[in-house]
Amino acid sequence: MSCNKCKHLLDIQDLSSPYVIRECSDCNRKINLREAGDNGHGIKMEKGDQFIFPKNFIKMSANPLKSTVRLSKGGLEWFAKLIFVNDLPTKRESIQEEIKKNGNYSAYFQMTPQLEKEFWQFTTK
């Protein structure tokens, strides 16, 4: 049940894009809302509102057809490092061990002294 203060606020049915949950201060009713923000931009937030991003709303992929976001040049560089470089060892001695451990990904990859030198130059920039 709603009170006089919140009876004009109707729950939205489509919860597939961001929305807020607002609790009425009089009757404690929780209302799912998506009100337009200032000048029609964004979603209006009030003190105490809980902002909700639905599950799977944000999908990141290097393939723009599988992503719901567009990565900037800096964002794409960050994403590539996150995917390909973050878990690599930081010591030269352990790179061969890492390649052996990830044999499925490096079946056709042979670390030559020249390639190893180029690899370390790239990752220490």
Task: Give residue-wise pLDDT tens across range 23-58.
Answer: 998 899 999 999 998 998 999 999 999 999 998 888
The whole-model pTM stands at 0.55
**What six digits make up the tokens of 17?**
């894009």
Give the Å distances, CA to CA, from 69 to 11, 57, 78, 88. Answer: 27, 10, 14, 26
Give CA–CA dist 46/40, Å, rounded. Answer: 15
Query: Under a CB-based contact definition with an 8 Å cutoff, are residues 2 and 22 in contact?
Result: no
Q: Taking the alpha carbons of 18, 28, 46, 7 in that order, is the dihedral positive or negative?
A: positive
**What six digits make up the tokens of 98?**
């890492």
Name the band, by pLDDT with cuts 50, 70 and 90, for residue 73.
confident
Tens digit of pLDDT for each residue in 80-108? 777 776 666 666 677 777 666 666 554 44
pLDDT of residue 89: 61
| Mean local confidence (pLDDT), 6-22 | 91
pLDDT of residue 12: 92
